[in-house]
Amino acid sequence: MTVTPSKAGSNAPAPQDLVTLTIDGIETSVPKGTLVIRAAEQIGVQIPRFCDHPLLAPVGACRQCLVEVAMPGPDGELRTMMGPPGRVKPQASCTLPVAEGMQVKTQLTSPIADKAQQGVMEQLLINHPLDCPVCDKGGECPLQNQAMTNGRGESRFQEVKRTFPKPINISAQVLLDRERCVLCARCTRFSEQVAGDPFIALVERGALQQVGIYEKEPYRSNFSGNVIQICPVGALTSADYRFRARPFDLVSTPSVAEHDSGGAAIRVDHRRGKVVRRLAWNDPEVNEEWITDKDRFAFHYANRPDRLTHPQVRDGETGELRPASWPEAFAVAARGLRAAGRVGVLTGGRLTREDAYGYAKFARVALGTNDIDFRSRPASAEEEQFLASRVAGRGLGVTYTDLERANAVVLLGLEPEEEAGTLFLRLRKAYRAGGTRIFAVAPFTSNGLRKLGATVVKAAPGEEVPAIEQLAHDGELALDGGGVILVGERLATVPGALSAVAVLASQTGARLAWVPRRAGDRGALDAGCLGSVLPGGRPLADAGARVDVGAVWGSTVPTVPGRDTDGILAAAAAGELGGLVVAGVDLDDLADPTAARAAVASAGFVVSLELRASAVTEHADVVFPVAPVAEKPGSFVSWEGRVRPFEKVLEGSNAVPDVRVLAGIADELGTPLGFQTIEAAAAELDEFASWDGERAADPTVAASPAAPAPAGSHRLATWKTMIGDGPMQDGDPAYHASGPTPTVLVSAATLESLGAAVGDQVELSTDTGTAVLAVGVADLADDVVWAPTSSGGVNLGRDLGAGAGSAVRLSLVPAAAPAVQEAM
């Protein structure tokens, strides 16, 4: 009797389907489906190429990668692939998958392949301007390099080159020199396939073919900078970097982007103590080779004229800030804090994990309080409990790769394209590959959701809970253990929503991840910058957890539950707290910016740790300058829970990180922090083993039905666009100009009732204030409008006192009357 071995129970991974072939006489085995060009790379043979890009679908357009190929026939004899009668036909290795027994001869061993490659190179160069000495790409140009290694020494071309008037702006940020372009279509394919923004296209035909935009529509994409990077020649350049530097002048350092929770790997190029550009670094597990325009272009903030360079203290006589020495500032700060009695700590989203840990410990050990909150945005107690129960200290959870494997991804309170660009790109990849379906509970079908092919479950702001509850029973979605739920930070403001999410995850077995907007938030949570959460996700309420922490700290942990951001500010305004320590908080981001400003202004004693002058430094009693990310080492924790360490880029900078400042104050307070450096902070943080005790219970807040908008008004849906206002986006006009026009979106019926046309100016108002924005249409409910939270100089919280769910009014701004009446 034969026994069929049963597969069940065996954990051994299926042996990968391997294909064996020879390349230049070297035998190699690679997974089935591998392209010849990459199989060659694996044995160290570099076949020249232009159009090929591992993350784009193959096109075989440039023909640079031709190789000679022979295949075994039915009789086992090798047969060279032939073309026109009697001629060997070299094959494009970038489009040809490997096959068993295949024999590949590259330029190294085949004179035919070599000649074919030289021929193509010569053809590419006939119309190329050969202006390498003045080209940004010079020195790092695949065309230049490959022409050196695979081209002929001299051109035989004596005729007339194709020329174009140069260069043209395809967006405010991206310039195109058409005569340098080799028409590899990497840029257009990236835009269409990866980003989903086909606002650049190949236009014209034949030798006149070129990359183009529609005359009235610039290349608008949150990811446009990637095309500059993948252009294999200097055809695409950035307005910001153009003519700024030569590659050999630059020092490159790998780093991690600080603009969102994506954890994208970047490369920072600097010269003479200044960052001059940033590029995507290849991290296949995280951002692959792509970054957002914000990650690429928004780095000038660190060099603005208002950058703080020395400590300041408020002069008792003049009431003005005056420069102070570090020792004096430490002493003044410590004295003030001691005198203030009870002090709250507010941290912003820019903190690294190590700096955040410094604040978490400083609050508990030096200030003896749990009044600390990293959420410098609208938040809730329900969220705090949700973070404690489901997120804090859990380490690596759902990963980018998991998204590609998921059968369904549910987006709740999250607009990935605007709030987590790296995540958006991976979701789009998963969607395009066909295996992952995407669902979103959202007020309308945004462009970003459309690009994800998302099924949108419509919910007005404040009405998400029933929609979330319904998802468990949605037959089409059929959420199960193969699914992933991604929750954005915005859901915090909807009572009952995060409670419902926890239930949904439990009911369906779907995995859950929390996606904050800011790079520092997950790290701050893990490090303990939340009243009820101690380092490593330990619940404050748990005595064992407090003992754990106290053991590492050599001190007791205060037990009184902490206040949240709004609570801390309210307590400061009411005098219940005598002081504040504020680290990189933009008051305009808070739920009530006006109240926040008033609270900071009236607080007894304020210590501010900041990069640049701000609304907080304006009222602070002591101001400490701290280092931006490029000037210190550290790490961020991505939304996945992945620790993303980075080194100091600008070695020469003597700017100090937050922990150093905190240590200085703590010393003066007589409660030393125990570390002064990032490295030491990191080492101590690592002492916290993962918490295997009880976690906080899931929140169980009941939904409270959202109030309908009063007659004549609409409910506001809002989030931040990627390119918008904010201190960390200052300083690159081209970057801002490439962003979207701030636009209120309304339903078609609302547009009609306003008597407006798309693009008209409308006034958005509340009892607090008004703002004028352009108007557009989306598939919103008639009583809901959407507007960007903070773009184009309009901040809804600050200017209108409005946030998600607020009632707002709309009216058409009459067009200016034409100056001259047209004659009848």
Question: Which residues in this chain contact ligand SF4 in the complex, by CB under 6 A?
Answer: 181-187, 211, 231-233, 235-236
Q: From the list ligand SF4, ligand FES, other proteins, none, which binds 444 (C-beta under 5 to 8 Å, kind-based)?
A: none
The one among 55, 56, 61, 291 contacting ligand FES by CB under 6 A:
61
From other proteins, ligand FES, ligand SF4, none, interface partner of 181 (C-beta below 5 to 8 A by class): ligand SF4
In angstroms, what is the minimal distance from the CB of 108 to other proteins?
Answer: 19
Number of residues that bind other proteins (CB under 8 A): 52
Q: Out of 54, 60, 139, 453, name the contact with ligand FES by CB under 6 A.
A: 60
Stretch that binds ligand FES, among 58-66, 535-543, 554-562, 579-587 (CB under 6 A): 58-66
Work out whether the CA dihedral 432, 436, 442, 444 comes out positive or negative.
positive
433: contact with other proteins by CB under 8 A: no
Q: Name the CA radius of gyration of the chain, rounded.
A: 29
Q: Which helix (H) or strand (E) holds 79?
A: strand 78-80
Complex with other proteins: residue 182 or 441, whichever CB lies closer: 182
Which amino acid, residue 63?
Answer: R
Region binding ligand FES by CB under 6 A among candidate stretches 48-56, 298-306, 357-365, 786-794? 48-56
Does residue 391 interact with ligand FES by CB under 6 A? no
Verify binding: residue 651, other proteins, rule CB under 8 A. Answer: no
Query: Can you read off the two tokens belonging to residue 205?
Result: 């035909």
Which range binds other proteins by CB under 8 A, 37-45, 193-201, 703-711, 773-781? Answer: 193-201
Q: For residues 186 and 350, which CB has a smaller minimum distance to ligand SF4 in the complex?
A: 186
CA angle 330, 332, 333 (to 5 degrees): 65
**91 burial via Cβ count (<10 Å: 0-12, 13-18, 19+):** buried
> Minimum distance between the CB of residue 49 and ligand FES, rounded to whole angstroms?
3
Query: What residue type is assigned to position 687 of the chain?
Result: E
Q: Which stretch binds ligand FES (CB under 6 A): 50-58, 139-147, 206-214, 544-552?
A: 50-58
Residues with Cβ < 8 Å from 651, sequence gap 6 or more? none
H helical segments located in 212-306: 225-230, 293-297
- Select the residue interacting with other proteins from 119, 254, 550, 674 (CB under 8 A): 119
Q: Percent helix, strand, coil in the chain (nearest 5)?
A: 30, 20, 50
Token pair of 716, please? 């506001």
190 lies in the binding site for ligand FES (CB under 6 A): no
The site map against other proteins for 136-165 (x = CB under 8 A) is --------------------xx-xx-x---
Q: Measured between alpha carbons, how far is 307 from 305 in angstroms, rounded to an integer?
A: 5
Q: Could you say which of ligand SF4, other proteins, ligand FES, none residue 647 binds, taking C-beta under 5 to 8 angstroms by partner kind? A: none
**DSSP 8-state secondary structure symbol assigned to residue 777:** E
618 touching other proteins, by CB under 8 A: no
We find the least distance from the C-beta atom of residue 108 to ligand FES, in angstroms, to be 17
Show contacts of 59-63: CB within 8 Å, 24+ apart: 59/95, 59/185, 59/189, 60/92, 60/94, 60/95, 61/183, 61/184, 61/185, 62/120, 62/124, 62/182, 62/183, 62/184, 63/92, 63/116, 63/120
Interface with ligand FES, residue 290, by CB under 6 A: no
Four-residue CA torsion sign, 372, 374, 379, 385: negative
Which member of 19, 39, 52, 583 binds ligand FES (CB under 6 A)? 52
Coil vs helix vs strand at 739: coil
Residue 51 touches ligand FES, criterion: CB under 6 A: yes
Q: Does 71 bind other proteins (CB under 8 A)?
A: no
Q: Sign of dihedral through CA atoms 532, 535, 537, 543?
A: negative
Q: Is 62 in the site for ligand FES (CB under 6 A)?
A: yes
To ligand FES, the closest distance from the beta carbon of 51 in angstroms equals 3
Nearest CB to other proteins, comparing residues 50 and 386 = 50
Distance CA 40, CA 770 (A): 62
Contacts of 627 (CB under 8 A, 6+ apart): 611, 653, 655, 656, 657
Identify residues 218-277 at the interface with other proteins (CB under 8 A). 219
Q: How far apart are CA 236 and CA 803, in angstroms?
A: 39
C-alpha 679 chain-centroid distance: 25
Q: Provide the token pair at 817.
A: 């009357």
Residue 223 and residue 722: Cα distance in Å, rounded? 10
Is residue 350 within the footprint of ligand FES (CB under 6 A)? no
Q: Locate 60 and state its tokens.
A: 């075989």
Tokens coding 185: 């279509």
Smallest separation, CB 122 to ligand FES (Å): 15
Q: Which region among 39-47, 111-119, 471-479, 498-506 touches other proteins (by CB under 8 A)?
A: 111-119
Site string for ligand FES, 79-98 (x = CB under 6 A): -------------x-x----
Say if strands 579-583 and 343-347 run parallel, antiparallel, or are unpaired: parallel
Give the one residue of 35, 40, 50, 766 binding ligand FES; rule: CB under 6 A: 50
Nearer to ligand FES (CB atom), residue 50 or residue 301: 50
SS3 260: coil
Residues near ligand FES (CB under 6 A): 49-52, 60-65, 92, 94
Residues near other proteins (CB under 8 A): 58-64, 66, 83-85, 87-90, 95, 115-116, 118-120, 122-124, 126-127, 156-157, 159-160, 162, 182-183, 198-209, 212-217, 219
